[in-house]
Amino acid sequence: MNDTKVKVTINQEKVLWADWKDNATARALLKKMPFTIKMSNLYGREMCHRFGGGSLPVKASQNKDYAVGDISFWPPLGSLVILYSQNGEVFEQVPIGHVDGDIRFFAGMGEADVLFEVPKEG
């Protein structure tokens, strides 16, 4: 499953492609796809949606840094985040995936409707 590609569409316009990880949290999100969530711009570094604490299975989280383009899950509030800017912070997270390419456009957004889906093959 390490090569699972997830299509991420922002406001029905901008399309990104994410490489999805293989862990319990990432698999639970895959099972929910397709889904659309409202994501809010927080802390000048991330787009965030809060599912709520305990909303997804978490087998192992760790305090770690991140790279621009990482998609992570923050267990305390059940937050799914797309990290678009680096501020050097280390925080508890479960890595979910990674988006390649320039995602700085998120900096100018307040909120966005974001669709996550696995494209059908063939």
Does this model's pTM top 0.85?
Answer: yes
What CA–CA distance (Å, rounded) separates 56 from 77? 11
The predicted pLDDT at position 61 comes to: 87
What CA–CA distance (Å, rounded) separates 74 from 83? 12
Per-residue pLDDT tens digits for 60-77: 888 999 999 999 999 999
Segments making up each domain of the chain, as ranges: 5-117
Average pLDDT over residues 67-94: 95
Per-residue pLDDT tens digits for 3-25: 799 999 999 999 999 999 999 99
The predicted pLDDT at position 101 comes to: 86
Per-residue pLDDT tens digits for 39-67: 999 999 999 999 998 899 998 888 999 99
Domain 5-117 has CATH 3.40.50.720: no
**For 101, left (φ over 0), alpha (ψ -120 to 50), or beta?**
left
Averaged pLDDT of the chain:
93
Q: Kindly indicate the confidence band of residue 2, based on its pLDDT and cuts at 50, 70 and 90.
A: low
